Amino acid sequence: MFDLSRVDTVTGTVRVFEWTEPHAWLDLLITDQSGQSQVVAFQCLDPGVLQRHGWNRYSLLSGQRVQVSYYPERSGRPGGALRTVTLGNGTVLASYDFPPQAQRPAQ
């Protein structure tokens, strides 16, 4: 579903962060170069794994400006699998962090 050979980056404003099973979700409001806004969804790992990476349900709050790196959807639709979130203070929260290409899980 996701292109694990590519990492894209986007900056936007947190619309909602859902701490849910089986995957947490981040909806980010992104404004493109033409001034058009859209909400883009990013799938995260499950909350248990995110907790082990230092996250909690309050790690991302509505209105926060963040930079997201992600593995894009293979279909070309906006969004994908969230890899990292960089907060305004420089803190980086990791979600997906796969080893080198040869050791990535089968797709």
Residue ranges per structural domain of the chain:
8-97
Q: What is the pLDDT of residues 19-71, one digit of tens each?
A: 999 999 999 999 988 999 999 999 999 999 899 888 999 999 999 999 999 99
pTM of the model: 0.84
Reduced to 3 states (helix: H, G, I; strand: E, B; else coil), residue 47 is: helix
φ and ψ at residue 50, rounded to 5 degrees: -60, -40
Q: What whole-number distance in Å separates Cα of residue 25 and Cα of residue 41?
A: 7
Is 8-97 a CATH 1.10.150 domain?
no
Q: How many residues does the chain have?
A: 107
Least Cα distance to 81 among 90, 69, 71 occurs for 71
pLDDT value of position 33: 85
Which of the two residues, 101 and 46, has the higher pLDDT score?
Answer: 46
